[in-house]
Amino acid sequence: MLYTQINLSGPILIIEDDEDDQLILTRILKELNLADKVIYFSTPLEALDYLQQATVHPFILICDINMPMINGIEFKKQIDQDPVLKAKCTPFIFWSTSISDTLVHQAYTETTIQGFFQKSCNYKELKQQLYYILGYWYYCQHPIFE
């Protein structure tokens, strides 16, 4: 598959506590020429602190669901309850290895997520998933902030 260049307007924020998954994602993003556009956080609280202090508008937040301290759903609820963060209209997706119907239902009914994806165990499929997710949001229209 031929991958065309995606030019992002802001950083990709990945909230992932598994270092092996971070390494795999870094390798994939290097292959997609996007490695310099990524900021990793090992916990949702680190990401929340960054988001509350940063003046940047992230391109997308990609979050694992099972995280230390607070899970991804609780993290997204905190973003939804913060008027400044909510106003940024940053796309937020869950991308997790473990998925259940209950978790997916809870994520969509209790928060304002834009997607819930199961990480593929196959490297090529994982790369395609990430490429299509980022490509979709690249073409999607977003509010302009000044």
**Taking CA 140 as the corner, what is the angle to CA 138 and CA 141, rounded to the nearest 5 degrees?**
115
Give dist(CA 78, CA 49) in Å, integer: 11
What residue ranges of the chain have pLDDT lower than 70?
1-8, 142-146
Residue-wise pLDDT tens digits, 17-41: 999 999 999 999 999 888 788 999 9
Q: Which listed CATH number (3.30.70.20, 3.30.1950.10, 3.30.1330.10, 3.40.50.2300) goes with 12-68+94-122+134-139?
A: 3.40.50.2300
Domain boundaries, the chain: 12-68+94-122+134-139
- Using a cut of 0.85, tell me whether the model's pTM lies above it: yes
